Chains A and B, each alone.
Chain A
Amino acid sequence: MFRFLIKRVLLGVSTLFAISVTVFALFFMGPADPAASMCGTKQCTPVQHERITTFLELDRPPHEQYASYMRGIFVGRTIGGDSPDAIECPAPCLGINFRTYEQVSTVIGRTMPITFSIVLGGAVLYVLIGTGLGMLSAIKRGSIFDRIASGTALTFASTQIFFIGSVLLLVFVYQTDLLPLPKYVPFTESPLGWLGGMIVPWIALGLINSAQYARLSRAQMIETLSEDFVRTARAKGLAIAPIYFRHALRAAVTPIVTIAGLDIGGQLGGVAITETTFSLNGMGRTAVRAIDEANLPVVMGIVLFSAMFLVLSTIIVDILYSVIDPRVKLGTSGGH
């Protein structure tokens, strides 16, 4: 177990390292001149341009910039070097926003709660609804309910968040005022406001993502319900409910945890399209804007963050696997 963990973590770190190099290299291949776009096109004098370039160390070769960026993450650094208005950037320093001179860690700290609220709330909704529907369908296999549930789930699964989200906004927010306009209110400020502002994105995510959980849990339940131990439990005269929940559901949980873990891990780094649809400034939308502005540190920070979540989630899923299903032995199956 321990050796397996060390191996996975090392692999994950190497992946993150390679990703950071790739993103850095991509930006130097790109056309954009961040100093020029910061300075503005009209009133930019060569002197100003020069000053911004030296302040942000954009004149140094890419590998030196990369080295100082990486050093900044572990020990912190001072941006702007010897100039009087140099910015002190403490230990996990992800650089500063080229536009606003705000620290990237602050940008992430500000946008992360928004993305987390959307993703985690949505995930709770679609995992519960999906699994519930799937279980009911499996129990009432072949019935009208089963057919309608599968059909509806697949219909919604084939829609796109930017379409169904816009339709929800139009019908329930703009036209009828039944649901509040999506906006982010911190939970600590007003739990009800937070809930209200998130409800439309959650519904949209729930509609689209429930289907795969419904399908998966249904297939798993059907398979388990036909197994010998379920028949034994029935023959013993156990009540129906414990059979479904304690025996059959448990076997269905493993694949659901896998998919949910990877889904959530992939989304925590920013759900750019969902955030754009609902005009919420989470990490995804912020990164999309930063790419437009050639704002390398912001893009870099968010890409690294989201890659980290993805790598972490695969490790956590592997560990959860062995906890839920004791038959799984870590490290002997080759890792995948």
Chain B
Amino acid sequence: MSDFVPRQTDSATDVLEVAPIEETAKAPKAIVGKSPGQLAWFRLKQDRTARSTIWVLGFFVFIAVFADVIEWIYGIGPTVNSPDLLDTTGQPLGYLGGIDFTTDNPSGHIHILGVMPATGWDVFMQFVYGARTSLIIALLATVISVIIGIFIGTLAGYFGGWIDQALSWFTDYMLAFPFVLMAIAVIPILNTRLEDETGYVTVYERVATIIVVFSLFGWMYTARLVRGQVISLREREYVEAARAAGANSWHIMFRQILPNLWAPILVTFSLSLPATVTAEAALSFLGIGVQQPTPDWGRMINDSLLYMRSDFMYLVIPGVSIWALVLSFNLFSDALRDALDPKSSR
């Protein structure tokens, strides 16, 4: 806004000083130029769904980032055994999976979401650290796969010809793999490459493996989208102008064309994020995601199936967590798409 308030640049205009001030004062409705980004941000702020989902997403990010602080305040870690909270068959004592808001129990801590059967681990802390696992994997995997997709899509779309044919074939080839089966086959192979002499793979290496596999099999839709967009943009005048001015292909692709694509790329990113959260949970559900003792929502659901008839809360808590995270991502990306595309209407 400040750009539109006339500035005094030299003393010769002092005489005319009165006029511009009067003009700004009486013309508050003057048309203010806004960049597409500002417009989108403005529309997003107006959107009620977007505002409320931001709070939910913010909550998940908050607990993921400050998991250690929450543990310190809460008083008990995610993997503290409390066999005294369980009956002889390993079921949590008390109601709804051992939910307890008082410290009047054998562990001496509150358990606001109950405890896990068989181990007595606190479900709330598992939930908190599970958010960290889920968000780190989903975020990094999506960022990497979108970057790969942008790169391959731009090259294919810009150069065309045999480069386009080869890259498009490669994209189709990657798309024809059954993802779940490939992930199950590739993750153990990568893990054996990383393990030390005793066969131990660190948590970081396991997480890295999962991120690599997701990135490897996740870039194809972005690549297709970007390729199509680049093809439609590469004949524009500004590209020709840049070429005439002597810019090289790299500059044209990534400095001239790519900045025009940020809107669709942002939308793909926000759509593939919840898909990755779901896929990560699904892999853990099948038992090939992160391993114990790293908390993970998908694996919690898998564990809970054994106990679901007696302790359904243990199934519901991780299930609802994944659902809430995915739903708010989905709602937010809808709002984002509407904000970025003025023609869209819901």
Binding site for B on A (CB under 8 A): 11, 14-16, 18-19, 22-23, 26-27, 29-31, 150, 154-155, 157-160, 162-163, 166-167, 170, 174-175, 266, 269-270, 272-273, 276, 284, 287-288, 291, 299, 302-303, 306-307, 310-311, 314, 335-336
Contact = CB atoms under 8 A, between A and B. Distances in A.
Given A26-B189, A160-B319, A272 B180 contact: yes
Interface string B151-191: 00000000000000000110011011110111011101100
B312 A272 contact: no
A interface secondary structure, majority: helix
B165 to A, nearest CB: 9
Given A163-B319, A284-B181, A15 B188 contact: no
Contacts of A163: 301, 315, 318-319, 322-323
A307 B286 contact: no
Nearest to A174: B309
10 contacts: A155-B327, A159-B323, A160-B319, A160-B326, A162-B281, A162-B285, A166-B315, A170-B308, A270-B178, A310-B176
Contacts of A158: 274, 323, 326-327, 330
Interface string B44-57: 00000000000000
A166 B305 CA distance: 8
A162 B274 CA distance: 16
Contacts of A174: 308-309
A269 B176 CA distance: 11
A158 B169 CA distance: 32
Contact of B188 (A23, A30, A284): A30
Nearest to B171: A336
A287 B308 CA distance: 26
A22 B181 CA distance: 13
A166 B177 contact: no
Contacts of A287: 178, 181
Contact of A291 (B177, B185, B278): B185
Nearest to A211: B330
A14 B169 contact: yes
Contacts of A18: 173
A11 B327 contact: no
B331 A154 contact: yes
B185 A272 contact: no
B224 interface: yes
A162 B301 contact: yes
A288 B315 CA distance: 23
B218 to A, nearest CB: 15
